[in-house]
Amino acid sequence: MIHGVGGHILWVDLTKGSIEKRPLDEDMIKEYLLGAGYLSRILFDHIPKGIDPLSEKNVLGMATGLLTGSMFPQASRHVIAGLSPLTDVWGESHAAGFWGAELKFAGYDAIVFTGASKNPVYLNIKDEDVQLLDAESAGVWGKDVFETDDILKAKHGKRIRTLSIGQAGENRVRFAAVMNDRDRASARSGLGAVMGAKRLKAVSVRGTGKLDVADPKNYLKQIDVFHKRMMANPFTPGRIKYGTTSLLELMQHIGRLPSYNMKQGVFDGFEKISGDAINQNYFVKARADFSCLQRCGRYTAVRTGPYAFEGGAPEFETQSSMGSRCGNDNLESVLFGHHLANQYGIDTISLGATISWAMEAWDEGLLTAEDTGGIDLSWGNHESMINLTRMIALREGFGDVLAEGSARAAQKIGRGTEKFVMTVKKQEIAGQEPRAQKSMGLAAVTSARGADHLYSFPVLDEAGFDEDIKERFGEQYLPEMADRLNPKYKGIMVKECEDFMVMVESVGLCKYGTQIPPEFYYDDVALALKIHNGLDLTGKDLQVIGERIVNLNRLFNARVGITRKDDCLPDRLTKVKAPLGPSAGEVVELDMMLDEYYTTRGWDLKTGLPLKETLKRLGLSRDA
Amino acid sequence: MTELKFVFGDPRVCSGCMTCSNTCSMFYYKVISPTRARNRVLRIEPALDFPLFCRNCEDAPCIKACPEQALMRTSKGVVIINNKKCVGHGECVKACPYYAIRIHPDTGKAFKCIQCGQCVERCPADAIWMTTESELAEKDQDGSMMDLYEQQKEEIYDKEDSI
């Protein structure tokens, strides 16, 4: 018996309005863990080939990890997955908060939604009592994320935890987020639009149960060791002080800060939107999620003016996407923009990147006031950026074009605007100018969910982790692997990081603490799974599970037609030399890194798909 | 008699991570469950996280309220509940102005913080302390922290909806 879990999965058929409670499949846990791995398996088996992601045939999964709700540092996470309406491939997104732990206390580890409801509904869970309720008569349909939370709390009690979409999800904006606990976002892959298409507004949860751990006698003693290590890590004080906002300065210094769409990796106005600038004038408090010791969550306030607000914001990705990427050094608009995106439920990365694409097209004279309905899209026009945020969420005017994401918008407009689209598999590249860190360029193309830095999160070449590289890979890979500008060994590194990161997302831990700083590794997770869940898995077992999940995600994508030809970056990043800054003159040597990556993975060099023997070793087949 | 001790925390510093509650339910009941922790942590917007504990009142209305005389103060000044005498009818819960005593969902008996300090040791934000009334007054000289408790009292001590 597996300890420390809720024990059941809810299967909700939205077409029929029926709810079924199924026990956790313990055999599947041994092969895929929970969280991202478990959903990878379920959705591979249940999402038919060739469907429209916004049709009722899509299946939407929400799952906690094996350690979510435990006392392991940062064990606060859940994952949302389905076929992505932005990329048309595997879609997956994660968030921290309290919702995941609460779901476990209610007795559930995951929820799978099939079909689509005719009328807007929300799922309300109070321990054993699980009901689909009318979202229109409850007054939440059409409301933003904060209003939805307020209304559901007034109705079901202040102690519920809410996950919901805002107007962007309802309006099927292709990069709509699924929000929880007000300002936590499962933002990438546009799965908020899948909720909207299913007419599922929210999942509110109250759980008063308990997690009975496998080794209660030694539990606190071992947790104390993990806690002490986390608190003693030299990264922890900085994380508490700045969250991820101080990354902005670091990225400027290595020329990795996407600026003016992704023309360059340095931004003159960086100091104005930096972590220090936020701390000086707007920072209110560092906030944590369940069991989180690092509290990177920021709570900020702009007290006066057009951008006045108070709430959870921002983090590095938004500083770059709505700041430097749009050529915008008006910090108040960046903070407010992040707040608005939370309120409407939008991915700030794709939002800023899509607007910055339009700004570059405007700058090149390819987009005019006629296209935008009179909106001026000059670089740094923060008023337009804020207006467009609202217009995208509500699909008004030019916002309706941008709500499709930059790749589709460019296709519609044409006129050469396509070459300014900075996407992989139609998802906008996040805040890592890859010409300044080659591993990030590779990671963006190999990620199962389209352009993404987190699926692999190859940060070991970012800031002097030579010792960790030595430990994880061996001394023979130094110094090349630690050199962010050297493409050598990056295929090996990205592969290793992907296996580890999908495993981390399957146990519900945070990438902060496992990957940056790399404090906890496979053996630590194995020990946690032993004392919390009673699972006897070695670090090596966990690595193989990670590898299995990555291969299964690749098979999912192969089924919708993805091959090596799709694993590519925009020409700007592979053919045009970085024009300015510390990484000037660099391009991403993608093909060479990809060759190394496929070889290391045991994937075919020509097709980029897993070889038969690789699948056999992992207990998979083409039909999985 | 030495001054009574109790655990208290600053809602401006507390990050809301629940480590105190999780420590408590694990230490005493071998489970992770905020509902089974002897304290509570409530997040109240904007930006406040209240870690809430027994205040160890001088007059201890909970002791007087119990018709079974199940509550008593030990020689160390801690108010404890005698499980053999407690029948769980909840008079102490009603009497406590801070909702610091609740009925345990599994045992059906009253339970409360007994100032053991396990949570204080583990708070990653150093937001909670074992303290006394006079020490607290010293720490909060401008009264701004206590003001927050006063301003939010309806929500943080609401017995219907606070667990």
Note the pLDDT tens digit of each residue in A443-487: 999 999 999 999 999 999 987 899 999 999 999 999 999 999 999
Option in A71, A208, A287 nearest B15 (CB): A287
Which of B29, B31, B47 is opposite residue A284, by nearest beta carbon? B47
Q: Give the contacts of A31 (CB within 8 A, at least 6 positions apart).
A: A37, A41, A545, A548, A619
The mean pLDDT of B70-83, rounded to a whole number, is 97
Contact present, A204 and A125 (Cβ < 8 Å)? yes
Q: Are residues A109 and A248 in the same domain?
A: no
Q: In sequence order, which residues have a C-beta less than 8 Å from that of residue A455 and are 6 or more positions away?
A: A92, A443, A446, A447, A448, A449, A498, A501, A502
In a domain, A253, yes or no: yes
In contact, A46 and A114? CB cutoff 8 Å: yes
Task: Give the residue from A501, A488, A485 showing the smallest Cα distance to A452.
Answer: A501
CB of A177 closer than 8 Å to CB of A169: yes
A-B contacts (CB, under 8 Å): 95
- Per-domain residue ranges for chain B? 6-156
A311 touches chain B (CB under 8 A): yes
- Cβ contact A71–B47 (<8 Å): no
The residues near A97 (Cβ < 8 Å, ≥ 6 apart) are A76, A78, A161, A180, A181, A184, A289, A290
**B47 in contact with chain A, both atoms CB, cutoff 8 A:** yes
Provide φ and ψ at A580, rounded to 5°. -140, 165
Q: Same domain for A509 and A374?
A: no
This complex has an ipTM of: 0.97
Give the DSSP letter of residue B31. E
A-chain CB neighbours of B26 within 8 Å are 71, 213, 216, 219-220
Kindly state the average pLDDT of the residues A365-378. Answer: 98
Tell whether A124 and A253 lie within a shared domain. Answer: no
| A3-43: pLDDT as tens digits | 999 999 999 999 999 999 999 999 999 999 999 999 999 99
* Statement: residue B1 has pLDDT above 60: no
For residue range A140-168, what is the model confidence (pLDDT) as tens digits?
999 999 999 999 999 999 999 999 999 99
Pairing of strands A297-302, A283-287: antiparallel
Rounded distance between C-alpha atoms, residue B92 and residue B100, angstroms: 10
Angle between helices A348-363 and A331-344 (to 10 degrees): 120
Compute and round to an integer the Cα radius of gyration of chain A: 22
d(CA B123, CA A521): 24
With an 8 Å Cβ cutoff, is B163 touching chain A? yes
Domain-embedded: residue A46: yes
In a domain, A102, yes or no: yes
Residue A197 in contact with residue A58, Cβ under 8 Å? yes
Q: Domain ends where: A366, A389, A421?
A: A421
Are A276 and A396 contained in the same domain? yes
Using CA coordinates, name the residue in chain B closest to A297: B15
pLDDT in tens, B31-50: 999 999 999 999 999 999 99
Range of the structural domain that residue A538 is part of: 437-617
Query: Which amino acid does the sequence have at A532?
Result: H
If asked whether residues A460 and A590 sit together in one domain, one would say: yes
Which helix (H) or strand (E) element contains residue B97?
none
**Measured between beta carbons, which residues in chain B are less than 8 angstroms from residue A6?**
none
Place of tokens 């206590």: B146
- Is A622's pLDDT higher than 90? no
Same domain, A189 and A244: no
Average pLDDT over residues B95-106: 96
Chain A contact set for B155 (CB, 8 A) = 158
CB A111 within 8 A of CB A10: yes
- Dihedrals phi, psi of A201, to nearest 5 degrees: -80, -40
Q: Are A63 and A79 in contact (CB under 8 A)?
A: yes
Q: Which of A:217-276 have CB within 8 Å of B? A: 219-220, 224, 227, 231
Same domain for A522 and A375 = no
Based on the domain organization, do A198 and A264 belong to the same domain?
A: no
- Which chain B residue is nearest to residue A289, measuring alpha carbons? B17
**CA nearest B32 in A: which residue?**
A211
Q: Does B31 touch chain A (CB under 8 A)?
A: yes
pLDDT in tens, A258-289: 999 999 999 999 999 999 999 999 999 999 99
Phi, psi of A594 (to 5 degrees): -65, -40
CB interface of A with B, residues 178-217, below 8 Å: 182, 208-213, 216
Omega into A479 within 30° of 0, i.e. cis? yes
Render B44-78 in DSSP notation, one character per residue. ETTTEEEEE-----SS-HHHHH-TT--EEE-TTS-
Residue A2 included in any domain = no
Q: Is residue A163 one of the residues assigned to a domain? A: yes
Q: Are residues A342 and A482 in the same domain?
A: no
Q: Which pLDDT score is estimated for A462?
A: 86
Interchain contact A285–B (C-beta under 8 A):
yes
Pairing label, strands A8-13, A297-302: unpaired
Question: Is A214 a member of any domain?
Answer: no
B161·A159 Cβ contact <8 A? yes
Residues of chain B in contact with residue A152, where contact means CB-CB under 8 angstroms, are none
Domains: count for chain A? 3
Q: Residues 58 to 77 of B: which have CB under 8 A from any A CB? A: none
Q: Are residues A165 and A262 in the same domain?
A: no
pLDDT exceeds cutoff 80 at B163: no
Tokens of A247: 């990354």
Nearest to A113 by CA among A148, A165, A161: A165
Confidence check: pLDDT of A491 > 80: yes
Is A260 in the same domain as A404?
yes
Which two structure tokens, joined as six digits, stand for A556?
A: 């999912």
Residues 46-85 of A with CB under 8 A from B: 69-71
Among A206, A222, A255, which residue terminates a domain?
A206
Whether B35 and A105 lie within 8 Å, measured CB to CB = yes
CATH of the domain at A535: 1.10.599.10
A187 shares its domain with A290: no
Would you tell me which CATH number, out of the four given (3.30.70.20, 3.40.50.740, 3.40.50.300, 3.90.226.10), belongs to the domain B6-156? 3.30.70.20
Q: Does pTM surpass 0.80?
A: yes
Label each residue of A352-365 as H, E or C. Answer: HHHHHHHHHHHHCC
